Amino acid sequence: MRLVDGPLRALGFAMGQLPVLVALKKSGSLSQAELARLAQVEQPSMAQLLNRMERDGLVQRVPNPDDKRSQLVSLTAGASERMPKGKAVMDAASRQALAGFTEEERDQLMTLLLRVNANLDRAVGETVS
């Protein structure tokens, strides 16, 4: 979404990182496997994303006290401090995208998009089976 790419980049974020950033903000720390599942990507893709995010100072990894074979990923203090500004960028873009829609229309759009997403999830499941 070009509308948010520049402002997010100025904060040190990228659109592809948003699922990870939001999940870590909500949960505090998660394993790579949990993040991959939440973001609906394969583990190798998540590993690459986390490596870049760690390099950029957005996340940190610590040994998992419950499973010595894995690490827990959490936001750095710097990323946490910038998250409210990132949310403001996304909120402003949402307001612009939905300008002129009534509340009923916004609700209907959300319902339809959720149905589309469910159809796509089902289609992916059918091709994997």
Q: Apex CA 65: angle with CA 41 and CA 20, to 5°?
A: 25
According to DSSP H, which parts of 15-102 are helical?
18-27, 32-39, 43-55, 77-97
**29 within 8 A of 43, measured Cβ to Cβ:** no
CA distance 91 to 114: 19
Q: What is the pLDDT of residues 12-39, one digit of tens each?
A: 999 999 999 999 999 999 999 999 999 9
The encoded tokens of residue 3 equal 């509308």
Q: How many CB atoms lie within 10 A of CB 115?
A: 10
Q: What is the pLDDT of residues 30-65, one digit of tens each?
A: 999 999 999 989 999 999 999 999 999 999 999 999
Question: Is residue 107 predicted with pLDDT exceeding 70?
Answer: yes
